[in-house]
Amino acid sequence: MHHLGLNFGELLIPLWRGKLDCGRTDNKNTWTWATLTGETWEYHGKLVAEARKFFPSSFHRPPRNPAEKINSGFKATEYFLYIFGLGPGFFRAVLPRENWRHLCKGLHGARTMLQRSATGKEIREARIQLVQFVEEYEVMYYQQRVDRMHFCRPCIHTLLHLASEMIRIGPGAVSSQYTLERLI
Instruction: Tell me the pLDDT tens digit for each residue of 128-155.
Output: 999 999 999 999 999 999 999 999 999 9
Q: What is the mean pLDDT of residues 93-114?
A: 96
- Tens of pLDDT, residue by residue over 46-83, are 999 999 999 988 887 899 999 998 888 888 889 989 99
Window from 60-69, 70-79, 85-94, 103-112 with minimum mean pLDDT:
70-79
Residue 105: Cβ-neighbour burial (10 angstroms; 0-12, 13-18, 19+): middle
CA distance 115 to 173: 6
Indicate the average pLDDT of the chain: 90
Instruction: Name the pLDDT band for 177 (thresholds 50, 70, 90).
Output: low
What CA–CA distances, in Å, run from 114 to 14, 53, 126, 177?
24, 25, 11, 11
In this model, does residue 11 exceed pLDDT 90? yes
User: What is the radius of gyration, based on Cα positions, of the chain?
Assistant: 16
Q: What is the pTM of this model?
A: 0.89
